[in-house]
Amino acid sequence: MSSRGEHLELVPVLELEPRVFSTTSRLYPLQTNDPSLEAYIAFWKACIGDRGLAFEPIMPHSYCVALEALTARASDEDIETTVRLAKRIHGGYALRDGDHIVSHFSCCADLPDLVTWRLIFAAPPQEKQWLAHSYVSSGFEGDVVRVSILGEYDRGEGDVLEVPRSRVEPMLAEAEATVRAFAKRLLPIAGAAGWPDAEKTVELLTHMG
């Protein structure tokens, strides 16, 4: 699929496995032979709701929640509960063009790895960078950066983005600002919750040190 990315965003996400929030034993929808979107949404809401949380995944059948939504809408108590139960901050990025999720990375992509993203978007050519079980390549074509994203099991050309070069620096800066806002919000929460060496722990969790 080809997309002209005038409004492309690199959206930091947290990967939250719903069953760790559940207070009762629940089967994944696939374990009940019901792969429908309705079953997945019901499963997600039931698990998260057990803790009084109401996060929405960034796209159907995903475990990823936009960091911006967590920072903007969740209470301090909700954030502390989320991080404590998840036991780690594991995430990546979703590439969003308007209301459409072009590609999302939920595995093996650390939140602050903007060095790699800067290489891909701002310093082509890059050939087959390995990100979250996808091969990402890029190159300049006039005033655009052409980025190809091919999943390890995909056939064909995968997702192809044509991003105006003028959009690259604002996009990277916005993503970094979102991660820093989350780290700033998390630090006093961690201190109030009595995390050992809270400042260093937050730096490690968000890889901002």
Residue 208 has pLDDT above 60, yes or no: no
Which pLDDT band, with edges at 50, 70 and 90, does 170 fall under?
Answer: very high
47: which residues sit within 8 A by CB, 6+ positions away?
A: 18, 19, 21, 22, 26
What is the number of other CB atoms lying within 10 angstroms of the CB of residue 166?
10
Give the residue with greater pLDDT, 170 vs 63: 170
Q: What is the pLDDT of residue 149?
A: 83
When pLDDT is averaged across residues 1-12 and rounded to a whole number, the result is 73
Contact 54, 69 (CB under 8 A): no
Q: Give CA–CA dist 76/182, Å, rounded.
A: 11
Q: Give CA–CA dist 19/6, Å, rounded.
A: 37
Bond preceding residue 125 cis, omega within 30 of 0: yes
Taking the domains of the chain in order of start, what are their residue ranges?
A: 2-16+55-200
Q: Give CA–CA dist 194/13, Å, rounded.
A: 25
Which pLDDT band, with edges at 50, 70 and 90, does 89 fall under?
Answer: low
Give the up-direction half-sphere exposure of residue 139: CA atoms within 13 A in the CB hemisphere: 5
Residue 209 has pLDDT above 50, yes or no: no
Q: What is the pLDDT of residue 1?
A: 52
H-only helix segments in 58-206: 67-73, 76-86, 114-122, 165-192, 198-206
Geometric angle at alpha carbon 181, from 204 and 19, rounded to 5°: 65
Q: What is the pLDDT of residue 171?
A: 92
The pTM for the full model equals: 0.79
Percent of the chain with pLDDT over 70: 85
Which pLDDT band, with edges at 50, 70 and 90, does 110 fall under?
Answer: low
Percent of the chain with pLDDT over 90: 7
When pLDDT is averaged across residues 50-64 and rounded to a whole number, the result is 84
Q: What are the backbone dihedrals phi and psi of residue 85, each rounded to the nearest 5 degrees, phi first?
A: -75, -35
Joined tokens for residue 152: 């390890």
Contact 159, 149 (CB under 8 A): yes
Residue 81 has pLDDT above 70, yes or no: yes
Q: What is the pLDDT of residue 112?
A: 46
